[in-house]
């Protein structure tokens, strides 16, 4: 066994009092290693490069919102999942980004060991840095299994974080419009 993650998982199983070679566990170290590499693949991706490859000059200065972006991440404190939805808005200043790049960006930062607060700021920060819009708003709603399965064990608890930059921070009307748009839930397209 040359994979260091597999070796570590085997050691953890031994420390838990399990038999890593028994039926049902014999391939677990390899499965966990592959899963951990998938869960953290965001470290190998460059978010700025993703955005830069899809910038377009457009004369549009109204709000652009991509909401209800599902994500899964791992809490850096316990390495257990947290998951939820991200809502991203920005007001262009001469450039827009391809709409599919925003969920890709959320996915990149989610696929790292994270805390929700940093995750929220990273998404807003890279959009602000690359697009240089008039403002960026990011709201993240998530359930943390470290609060649900262990610790306080509160099954209905969730966390909401936000990062408001530019006009979303300085103009309460702009911020309110964004918040109203992401609150609208619908079973139809619009």
DSSP H or E segment with residue 24: none
How many whole angstroms separate alpha carbon 143 and alpha carbon 158? 5
Distance between start and end Cα atoms, the chain: 53
Q: Is 116 a catalytic residue?
A: yes
Which of the residues 6, 107, 128, 144 is marked catalytic? 144
Question: Do the strands 55-57 and 64-75 form a parallel or antiparallel pair, or are they unpaired?
Answer: unpaired
- Annotated catalytic residue: which of 6, 107, 114, 116? 116
| Nearest CA among 47, 12, 36, 67 for reference residue 131 | 47
Output b/e per residue, 13-45; b: 16+ Cβ within 10 A: beeeeeebeeeeeeebbeebbeebeebbebeee
Active site residue 114: no
Catalytic site residue from 18, 45, 78, 141: 78
Phi and psi torsions of 105, nearest 5°: -65, -45
The answer to whether 177 is a known catalytic residue is no
Is 44 noted as a catalytic residue in this protein?
A: no
Catalytic residue among 6, 75, 122, 128: 75
Is residue 155 part of the annotated active site? The answer reads no
Active-site residue identified among 11, 19, 76, 129? 76
- Among the listed residues 11, 19, 44, 77, the single catalytic one is 77
Catalytic residue, from 18, 141, 146, 177: name it. Answer: 146
Is 87 one of the catalytic residues?
no
Residues in the chain: 190
Alpha-carbon span 59 to 41, nearest angstrom: 35
Catalytic residues, which ones? 75-78, 116, 144, 146
């Amino acid at each position: 066994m040359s994979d260091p993650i597999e070796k570590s998982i085997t050691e953890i199983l031994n420390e838990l009092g399990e038999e890593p070679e028994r039926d049902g566990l014999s391939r677990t170290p390899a499965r966990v290693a592959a899963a951990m590499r998938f869960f953290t693949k965001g470290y190998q991706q460059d978010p700025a490069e993703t955005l830069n490859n899809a910038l377009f000059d457009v004369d549009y200065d109204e709000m652009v919102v991509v909401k209800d972006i599902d994500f899964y991440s791992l809490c850096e404190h316990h390495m257990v999942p947290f998951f939820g939805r991200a809502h991203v808005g920005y007001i262009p200043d001469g450039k827009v980004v391809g709409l599919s790049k925003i969920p890709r960006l959320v996915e990149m930062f989610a696929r790292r060991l994270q805390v929700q607060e940093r995750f929220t700021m990273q998404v807003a920060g890279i959009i602000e840095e690359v697009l240089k819009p008039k403002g960026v708003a990011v709201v993240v709603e998530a359930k943390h299994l470290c609060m649900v399965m262990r610790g306080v064990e509160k099954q209905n608890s969730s966390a909401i974080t936000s990062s408001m930059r530019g006009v979303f921070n300085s103009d309460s009307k702009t911020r309110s419009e964004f918040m109203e748009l992401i609150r609208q839930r619908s079973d139809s397209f619009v």
